[in-house]
Amino acid sequence: MIPMVVFALKALGREARAGELKILFAAIVVAVTAVTAVAFFTSRVSDAFMQQAAEVLAADLRLESGRPLEINNSYTAKAHELGLRVARTTSFSTVLFNGETSQLTSIVGVSDGYPLRGTLRIANDLEGLGIATMELPQPGEAWADARILGLLGIPLGASIRVGSLSVRITHVLAYRPDQGTMFSALAPTLLLAESDIPNTHLLLDGSRATWTLLYAGAAHDIAQFQTWLHTYKSASERLVAVSESSEQLQRTLERATRFLQLASLSTLLLAAIAVALTARRYSQRQMSTIALMKSLGATQRFVFYVTALQLFVTAFIGAIVGIVFGWMAQSGLMWLMQDLIPTSMPPPRVATAGLGLAVALITLLGFALPPLLRLRNTPPARVLRQTLEPAPLSSLINYSSPLLAFSVVSYLLVRDWLLIGYALCGLFCVAVIFGLAGTLFVRMTTKVRGVAGVAWRYGISNIGRRGGESVVHIAAFGLGFAALLLLSVIRGELVSDWQRSLPRDTPNHFLFNISETQITPLNEMLASYGVSLPAYAPWVRARLVAINGISMQSQPRALTERGRAFVEREQNLSWSSKLPLDNQVTAGAWWNDNSQSSPQVSVATEFKDELGLKLNDVLTFDVAGETVNAPVTSIRKVRWDGFRPNFFLVFPPGVLDSMTGTFMTSFYVTHEGRKGLSHVARAFPNITVLDVGKIVDQIRGLMERAALAVQYVFVFTVLAGVMVLLSALEGSRDARLYEAAIVRALGASRRTLLTAVAVEFAVIGALAGVLAAGAAGIAGWFIAKHLLGVAYHFSGALWILGGGGGGLLVGMIGLLATRSVVSSPPSMALRGH
Amino acid sequence: MTVLEARKVSKQVSSPEGVLTIVHDISFAMNGGDSVAVVGASGAGKSTLLAILAGLDTPSSGQVWLDGQEITGLDEDGRAAVRSRSVGFVFQAFHLVQSLTALENVMLPLELTAVTGAKAKARAALSAVGLEARANHYPSQLSGGEQQRVAIARAFVNKPVILFADEPTGNLDTTTGSKIADLLFSLNESTNTTLVLVTHDRSVAQRCKRLIELDSGHLLSDLRLR
């Protein structure tokens, strides 16, 4: 064993010195560089994304309960054991008074450490944007929303009573990261030190309040803790993770992750093709040496182990170099993006380096093993007859080895078998179709080559003459282009979908408690601040008292915590003839002019799920003492984060119109127009104004970051694609060198040869591009529809880009890569051969 | 003592035209220190016979005994072991590894069998063929004659019992070819190696002690020249 290792290492040193391994080495370096750069970058962006998303919760994980949660409970002990940080908030609603004026307020008591993610912003005037602070209100102090001060008419620095506690308002609370989590609590916030909460004497046994424990820490510790908590928490406690904090955020995160996964897979595929092509060439070149070694007495086992060891060492060194390059590439990228990324990015994950190593070794093993195994069988008699070649391997090994390697590495990269399954099926179909189309095309070229000048004829005839190799080129380029075109198409659809989902004019203000008579003067006032006429949704409050005639107290169904809240609290009922925006009927049917006269109700999926409702269940509501019976005639899926008024329960017009209700609306107002809204509050004191601009901005910021990531990751995939081109061209370099020498010796000019090379590659590239455009179009549609859930638009430009771009790119790179072949003196090439 | 013996060796291959017999029922034996030239027209089966005798290929029927061992009964690795121990090769196309220097090429068979002192032995072999000064040159930096001398040094460095040479002068001009033949025969003489030489060159063939002529795979004549 030791002599073999010594021999292998010595031989490796010699081969490296002679440059035999340089292409394979380069392919591995590029593979690892591309994959690790994407992985490093993805890890940083997704960590940053999670961090920013975590701001929305002020933590990585929240545990909410309607009963007091002691901060030093067993959960906290476990959290500390895992190295997590813990904080607690207590929140409840109460009415604050200033003389005769009162305001319903959300009191939030926070412990040390709050917020665990994001920062509080405080201001010293009502309209200030505030500055970030690490401080918290001290006992006896409070930070108040500007609205509290405005509506109660008290100045900053004044004291206010909260239950039996008197606190001095020291700052305006301009922003708290988790303000969106209590979106339903429309009341403005008064932030207190948690130790002051008992002194208010407002929380008695059974009081309605929410106790929340906040946790933050490293991702895997949080994940571990989340699993633990799921098992041990009581049923009444609700766990909220970052991904659940907002439907829109979750969708964005999922899609961005999917895209980055696709980009990783595409990069890996391209890199693997490059490795396969170079390994094929390496084994071809090694065949004569192996035959010689065997004629000198080397056994098959010896040959195999020596070659495998050499490739392993090459892969290992290539991987290390690739990891360093990958790290540098993503650092460069971060540097380029420093103006675009507002906050500092978290560092790359160290584990990604291990991933790079695994990618190099497994890819090499899977894609280089078949040629290596075949090399082992090189007949020693090849030293006498160069035409002798080892028998081809069984298709099983030829195809299963790369397939297995690709699956394993894909799993390491994306951990999603469904996606890998789709990718493998797609790859298989595309490879077969490209292979068949390539074969057909190569046959056709033999018929058309006589139609143009000598350079064209020579170029076109080359395609037919190198039949098998041309098919491999068409398939390899085609796959490469398909991956690139696919990513560019998907990227475009994804980014425009994000832009569409939260356009610039997304509503950033809500108005509540508007009486019908106020709508006209309000509209006039809003118009003067540049607000276009908003839509008003009517609503009344009601209590659900029975389902199918059985009172809620006697219902046999087991209700969830949230379901119980639906029953115990009053619900907001609205009515509309048209299906509201952001709503989609998933079961039953929305009413039309004929059917809307009878009482009926459309229920949001959340309400249906929590109460276990189904179509035609009859709900009985108590609306200000009047009973309304309505069968469920449709179920709606509602996009709650469209920032428009939406309701769990919607009736047709005519059922609730006579009840005394109010209206609500939402609209977009510019930064300038914003100041005018304080006049609205003053002119219509009963109307509640809620500013959600910061929440919208928070979500938009996340989407922009995700969009940026998908744009830039693409660069690495393109680089891997170029590597495929180069390695495919290198594969035929020896034969080309010899042929070019012969043709030049026969008197052909360099220009003729270069034109021929350009024609040959441009034709191959154009065909590969057209095939790729077809594949990318179909795959793009499938991925957009089934994996990302975005709309897909077929475009003719894809074909032009594929065919034209493919021809131009392959023609140019082919020309550049084979220039030296054409330029070297014919005598040298002939002698070398 | 017999070092090489072929008993009723035949080789058939399948071709588009059907089964072709390239070597027909050939039998002969060689003693240590003997030299035999295998001659015949192109396609007579010379190289195929050489490959079978050297254990690079297997016959369809018949047996070959090399250095006291029946190599036709061995598998690929078994034959490789016999080759590493007992056989040396010189080829028409030299077959030097382009990425190795002259010295490293000569060291190759020694390194494959993990022989100690490979470098010194290879230097001595290069010196024996008059190429000590070119030890660190790559094949592309050597002339055809020099490359073949490196190949001869490589063939003799392991002190083989038998040396197979396939058209060793075929790629060289007459003068260089003649010098290479001189070298080959003098080394054969001094090391008492058995030499099996496939050649088209009658003048080279005449220098062997024995001449075997093939025609369409058949043994046409087996003459002892001296």
SS3 of A124-157: the string is CCCCCCCEEECCCCCCCEEEECHHHHHHHCCCCC
CB B43 within 8 A of CB B36: no
Mean pLDDT of chain A: 81
Are A591 and A628 contained in the same domain?
Answer: yes
Average pLDDT of the segment spanning A383-390: 83
Residue B60 has pLDDT above 90, yes or no: yes
Which residues fall within 8 angstroms of residue A120, CB to CB, at 6 or more apart?
A132, A133, A135, A136, A143, A173, A175, A176, A177, A191
Flag whether residue B169 sits within 8 Å of chain A, measured between CB atoms.
no
- How would residue A511 be classed by pLDDT, with cut points 50, 70 and 90? confident
Are A31 and A87 contained in the same domain?
Answer: no
Flag whether residue B74 sits within 8 Å of chain A, measured between CB atoms.
no
* Of the partner residues B97, B113, B166, the one whose CB lies closest to the CB of residue A292: B97
Q: Please give the Cα distance from A512 to A691 (Å, whole number).
A: 12
* Of the partner residues A3, A294, A832, the one whose CB lies closest to the CB of residue B80: A294
Among B64, B84, B86, B104, the residue to mutate for chain A (most A Cβ within 10 A): B84
pLDDT of residue A418: 82
Residue A474 has pLDDT above 70, yes or no: yes
Other CB atoms within 10 A of residue A220 CB: 10
* Of the partner residues A6, A10, A297, the one whose CB lies closest to the CB of residue B80: A297
Among B111, B115, B138, the residue to mutate for chain A (most A Cβ within 10 A): B111
C-alpha distances in angstroms, A349 versus A342, B79, B109? 20, 53, 48
Q: Residue type at A827?
A: S
Instruction: Show residues of chain B in contact with A17, CB under 8 Å.
Output: 99
Q: Please give the Cα distance from A642 to B95 (Å, whole number).
A: 75
Residue whose C-alpha is closest to residue A135's, from A127, A147, A143 = A143
Are A538 and A574 contained in the same domain?
Answer: yes
A332 lies in some domain: yes
pTM of the model: 0.67
**Measured in Å, how far apart are chain A's first and last C-alpha atoms?**
35
| Better-predicted residue by pLDDT, A265 or B3 | B3
Which residues fall within 8 angstroms of residue A700, CB to CB, at 6 or more apart?
A502, A506
- Tallying the residues shown for chain B, one arrives at 226
Residue B49 has pLDDT above 80, yes or no: yes
Nearest Cα residue in chain B from A302:
B112
* Of the partner residues A14, A384, A832, the one whose CB lies closest to the CB of residue B100: A14
CB A312 within 8 A of CB A16: no
Residue A271 has pLDDT above 70, yes or no: yes
- How would residue A182 be classed by pLDDT, with cut points 50, 70 and 90? very low
> Which of these ranges, A151-165, A480-494, A598-612, B165-179, has the smallest mean pLDDT?
A480-494
Please give, rounded to a whole number of angstroms, the shortest distance from the CA of A285 to a CA of chain B.
11
Place of tokens 């099926």: A425
| Better-predicted residue by pLDDT, B182 or A657 | B182
Q: Residue type at A300?
A: Q
Domain that holds residue A222: 58-245
Residue whose C-alpha is closest to residue A777's, from A800, A809, A799, A806 = A799
A632 lies in some domain: yes
Angle, alpha carbons A671-A677-A680 (nearest 5°): 165
Judge residue A303's burial from the number of C-beta atoms within 10 Å of its C-beta, 0-12 exposed, 13-18 middle, 19 or more buried: buried
- How would residue A749 be classed by pLDDT, with cut points 50, 70 and 90? confident
CB B164 within 8 A of CB B54: yes
Are A468 and A588 contained in the same domain?
Answer: no
Q: Please give the Cα distance from A162 to A197 (Å, whole number).
A: 9
CB A493 within 8 A of CB A793: yes
Say how many domains are in chain A.
3
Q: Which structure tokens are listed for A534? A: 């908003």
Instruction: Show residues of chain A in contact with B109, CB under 8 Å.
Output: 296-297
A505 lies in some domain: no
Q: Please give the Cα distance from A723 to A32 (Å, whole number).
A: 12
Question: What b-and-e string marks burial along B38-68, b requiring 16 or more CB atoms within 10 Å of the CB?
Answer: bbbeeebbbbbbbbbbbbbbbbeebebbbbe
* Of the partner residues B97, B100, B140, the one whose CB lies closest to the CB of residue A832: B140
Instruction: Show residues of chain A in contact with B80, CB under 8 Å.
Output: 294, 297-300, 380
Q: Per DSSP, what are the bridge partners of residue A537?
A: A664
Are A707 and A767 contained in the same domain?
Answer: yes
DSSP state of A787: I
Among A295, A387, A830, the residue to mutate for chain B (most B Cβ within 10 A): A295
Q: Which structure tokens are listed for B105? A: 């090429």
- How would residue A74 be classed by pLDDT, with cut points 50, 70 and 90? confident
CB A481 within 8 A of CB A768: yes
CA B131 to chain centre: 21
Flag whether residue B163 sits within 8 Å of chain A, measured between CB atoms.
no
- How would residue A184 be classed by pLDDT, with cut points 50, 70 and 90? very low
Residue whose C-alpha is closest to residue B27's, from B65, B56, B75 = B65
> Which of these ranges, A487-496, A726-735, A787-796, has the smallest mean pLDDT?
A726-735
Flag whether residue B115 sits within 8 Å of chain A, measured between CB atoms.
no
A152 lies in some domain: yes
Q: For strand A165-175 and strand A120-123, is the pairing parallel, antiparallel, or unpaired? A: antiparallel
Q: Please give the Cα distance from A123 to A140 (Å, whole number).
A: 19
Are A24 and A86 contained in the same domain?
Answer: no
Which residues fall within 8 angstroms of residue B107, CB to CB, at 6 or more apart?
B118, B119, B121, B122, B157
Q: Per DSSP, what are the bridge partners of residue A478?
A: none
Flag whether residue B171 sits within 8 Å of chain A, measured between CB atoms.
no
* Of the partner residues B51, B87, B97, the one whose CB lies closest to the CB of residue A381: B51
A516 lies in some domain: no
Q: Please give the Cα distance from A477 to A728 (Å, whole number).
A: 8
Q: Please give the Cα distance from A331 to A329 (Å, whole number).
A: 5
Are A658 and A704 contained in the same domain?
Answer: no
Helix (H), strand (E) at residue A702 = helix A693-731
- How would residue A450 be classed by pLDDT, with cut points 50, 70 and 90? low
Which residues fall within 8 angstroms of residue A714, CB to CB, at 6 or more apart?
A263, A487, A488, A491
Are A68 and A17 contained in the same domain?
Answer: no
Q: Which structure tokens are listed for A779? A: 């795959």
Instruction: Show residues of chain B in contact with A288, CB under 8 Å.
Output: 95
Average pLDDT of the segment spanning B203-225: 91
Nearest Cα residue in chain A from B54:
A295
Q: Which of A192, A211, A245 marks a domain boundary?
A: A245
Instruction: Show residues of chain B in contact with A386, CB under 8 Å.
Output: 93
Average pLDDT of the segment spanning A285-292: 86
Average pLDDT of the segment spanning A315-334: 85
Other CB atoms within 10 A of residue B4 CB: 25
A511 lies in some domain: no
Other CB atoms within 10 A of residue A116 CB: 23
Q: Which of A222, A245, A268 marks a domain boundary?
A: A245
Instruction: Show residues of chain B in contact with A282, CB under 8 Å.
Output: none
Q: Where are the domains of chain B?
A: 2-219
Please give, rounded to a whole number of angstroms, the shortest distance from the CA of A754 to a CA of chain B.
27
- How would residue A338 be classed by pLDDT, with cut points 50, 70 and 90? low
pLDDT (tens digit per residue) in A100-129: 777 778 899 999 999 998 888 898 877 766
Are A376 and A329 contained in the same domain?
Answer: yes
* Of the partner residues B57, B84, B100, the one whose CB lies closest to the CB of residue A297: B84
Are A260 and A362 contained in the same domain?
Answer: yes
Average pLDDT of the segment spanning A202-215: 82
Please give, rounded to a whole number of angstroms, the shortest distance from the CA of B225 to a CA of chain A.
27
CB contact under 8 A, B109 and A297: yes
| Better-predicted residue by pLDDT, B217 or A682 | B217
Residue A183 has pLDDT above 50, yes or no: no
CB contact under 8 A, B56 and A384: yes
| Better-predicted residue by pLDDT, B86 or A467 | B86
Helix (H), strand (E) at residue A105 = strand A101-110
Are A260 and A213 contained in the same domain?
Answer: no
Instruction: Show residues of chain A in contact with B81, CB under 8 Å.
Output: 297, 299
Which residues fall within 8 angstroms of residue B105, CB to CB, at 6 or more apart?
B96, B97, B139, B150, B151, B154
Instruction: Show residues of chain A in contact with B23, CB under 8 Å.
Output: none
* Of the partner residues A14, A20, A380, the one whose CB lies closest to the CB of residue B56: A380
C-alpha distances in angstroms, A291 versus A387, A393, B115? 12, 18, 21
Q: Please give the Cα distance from B39 to A374 (Å, whole number).
A: 34
pLDDT of residue A255: 72
pLDDT of residue A250: 65
> Which of these ranges, A544-548, A784-788, B41-45, B215-219, has the smallest mean pLDDT?
A784-788
**Measured in Å, how far apart are chain B's first and last C-alpha atoms?**
18
Average pLDDT of the segment spanning A267-289: 81
For residues B36, B42, B43 and B46, what is the CA-based torsion angle, rounded to 10 degrees? 10
Please give, rounded to a whole number of angstroms, the shortest distance from the CA of B15 to a CA of chain A.
14
Angle between helices A300-336 and A2-18 (to 10 degrees): 50
A417 lies in some domain: yes
Q: Which structure tokens are listed for A361? A: 């070794």
Flag whether residue B152 sits within 8 Å of chain A, measured between CB atoms.
no
pLDDT of residue A630: 92
Other CB atoms within 10 A of residue B85 CB: 15
Are A456 and A366 contained in the same domain?
Answer: yes
Chain A residues within 8 angstroms (CB to CB) of chain B? 3, 6-7, 10, 14-15, 17-20, 288-289, 292-302, 379-381, 383-386, 832
Residue whose C-alpha is closest to residue B67's, from B151, B159, B152, B156 = B159
CATH number of the B2-219 domain: 3.40.50.300
Residue whose C-alpha is closest to residue A510's, from A387, A690, A647 = A690
pLDDT of residue A230: 84
